[in-house]
């Protein structure tokens, strides 16, 4: 099988699974317990926290473990909105955010907050000038993703962060679920206050992730409970999952995203030779994502046709793919409905090889004429 849906989830690394299994058996006790097995589990969590923080160049107490990107995004956005509501009730985000950001903002609107959704250009990139224009005296938070999960477009996070330094009362949240470990980001230079990361996008496990929360930044907790994770995220910690997350992040240091880019650019170059392909991913993109359309052939039809060839791709974000409606991201980019309906996304990982790329192109060359003929016969 050729697996090209790594933006939805990655295959867990074998050593990550091994860490999880060993930690789950040995450190099964509740980390909040006062007895020695509980204290051992707590030490395991703190060691993982220190390892991740060191690799990121931040302090260990700035890492809050969560269940993944969705929780981290909600904690950052709703947590800031709740804690700083006396300062203002306006948030700036974009129309191309992941549902866990977009819908969190929609929820806040129902609660009396106002949200400005900045539009991207035709390449799926937001402009820092548009972000600044959206800021008001009531703005408490700007939330902009680093890498778009559908098109792979890399947003000007550093430039936006530098801009926001002029607005010290405005916090800056970055959803880095798709960019972490693939596109470098200097948190200090970009002035990032909150950053979301998910383990299962990094060859880690589902249900693992963290929120980076800069010193001095406050968020109201989403959950009421025992006050774990420094009172920010109550709930018994997933010690084995946290240890496996740290292992996955350590392994990132041994991988080279540019090797993935070589494969993606090879595929892009081959697709550009086919007149029946329209590419939506801009050149300013992450190394692992390529989004394109084959007009006249519905995306889901092509997905199933490729699956018969044992090639796994997707249409839109996995969180939106079953909604059976055009991609909000492509609509915001002014992509036509025909092209949006025929769009598919491929997303690679460090485990993919050049042979798979050539097999993918060969499969398209076989499949597309057959599907086009069937479409013409129906019409």
User: Which residues share a beta bridge with 171?
Assistant: 141
- Distance between CA 279 and CA 115 in Å, rounded? 31
Backbone angles phi, psi at 42, to 5 degrees: -65, -40
pLDDT digit string (tens) for 30-88? 999 999 999 999 999 999 999 999 999 999 999 999 999 999 999 999 999 999 999 99
Is residue 324 very low, low, confident or very high in pLDDT (cuts 50, 70, 90)?
low
Banded model confidence at residue 379, pLDDT cuts 50, 70, 90 = low
- 239 alpha carbon, distance to own chain's centre: 23
- DSSP letter assigned to residue 314: B
The string of DSSP letters for 12-58 reads PPHHHHHHHHHHHHHS-S-TT-SSHHHHHHHHHHHHHHHHHHHHHTS
CATH number corresponding to 14-252: 3.40.640.10
232-248 pLDDT tens trace: 999 999 999 999 999 99
Active-site annotation, residues? 319
CATH number of 2-9+256-378: 3.90.1150.10
Q: Which pLDDT band holds residue 323 (cuts at 50, 70, 90)?
A: low
Per the structure block, which two tokens stand in for 137?
A: 């005296």
Cα–chain center distance at 339: 24
C-alpha Rg value of the chain to the nearest Å: 21
Q: Write out the E strands in the chain.
A: 2-3, 63-66, 90-94, 114-118, 139-143, 171-175, 194-198, 209-213, 278-279, 289-293, 311-312, 343-347
Distance CA 294, CA 310 (A): 19
Domain ranges of the chain: 2-9+256-378, 14-252
Sign of the alpha-carbon torsion through 222, 225, 231, 234: negative
Helix (H) / strand (E) element for 163: namely helix 157-164
pLDDT at 320 over 70: no
Question: CA 290 to CA 267: how far, in whole Å?
Answer: 9
How many residues are there in the chain? Answer: 379
C-alpha 146/C-alpha 196 separation (Å) is 10
**Does 318 score more than 60 pLDDT?**
no
Q: Is 70 exceeded by the pLDDT of residue 104?
A: yes
Structure tokens at 239: 């010690």
pTM attached to this predicted model: 0.95
């Amino acid at each position: 099988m050729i697996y090209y849906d790594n933006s939805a989830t990655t295959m867990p690394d074998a050593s990550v699974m091994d860490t999880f299994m060993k930690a789950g058996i040995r450190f099964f006790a509740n980390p909040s317990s006062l007895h020695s097995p509980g204290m051992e589990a707590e030490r395991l969590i703190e060691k993982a926290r220190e390892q991740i923080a060191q690799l990121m160049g931040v302090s260990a107490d700035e890492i809050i473990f969560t269940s993944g990107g969705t929780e981290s995004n909600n904690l950052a956005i709703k947590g800031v909105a709740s804690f700083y509501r006396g300062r203002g009730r306006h948030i700036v985000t974009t129309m191309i955010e992941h549902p866990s950001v977009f819908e969190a903002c929609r929820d806040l609107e129902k609660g009396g907050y106002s949200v400005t959704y900045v539009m991207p250009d035709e390449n799926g990139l937001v402009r820092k000038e548009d972000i600044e224009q959206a800021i008001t005296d009531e703005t408490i938070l700007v939330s902009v993703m680093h890498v778009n999960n559908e098109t792979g477009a890399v947003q000007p996070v550093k430039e936006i962060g530098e801009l926001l330094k002029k607005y010290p009362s405005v916090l800056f949240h970055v959803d880095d679920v798709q960019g972490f470990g693939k596109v470098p980001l200097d948190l200090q230079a970009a002035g990032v206050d909150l950053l979301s990361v998910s383990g299962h996008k990094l060859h880690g496990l589902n249900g693992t992730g963290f929120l980076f929360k800069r010193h001095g930044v406050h968020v109201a907790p989403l959950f009421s409970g025992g006050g774990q994770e420094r009172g920010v995220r109550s709930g018994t910690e997933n010690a084995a999952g946290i240890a496996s997350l740290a292992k996955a992040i350590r392994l990132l240091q041994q991988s080279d995203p540019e090797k993935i880019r070589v494969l993606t650019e090879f595929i892009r170059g081959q697709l550009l030779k086919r007149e029946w392909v329209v590419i939506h991913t801009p050149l300013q993109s992450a190394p692992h994502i390529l989004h394109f359309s084959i007009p006249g052939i519905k995306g889901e039809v092509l997905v199933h046709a490729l699956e018969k060839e044992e090639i796994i791709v997707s249409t839109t974000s996995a969180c939106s793919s079953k909604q059976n409606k055009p991609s909000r991201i492509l609509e915001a980019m002014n992509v036509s409905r025909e092209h949006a309906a025929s769009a598919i996304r491929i997303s690679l990982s460090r485990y993919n090889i050049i042979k798979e790329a050539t097999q993918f192109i060969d499969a398209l060359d076989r499949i597309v004429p057959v599907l086009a003929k069937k479409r013409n016969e129906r019409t």
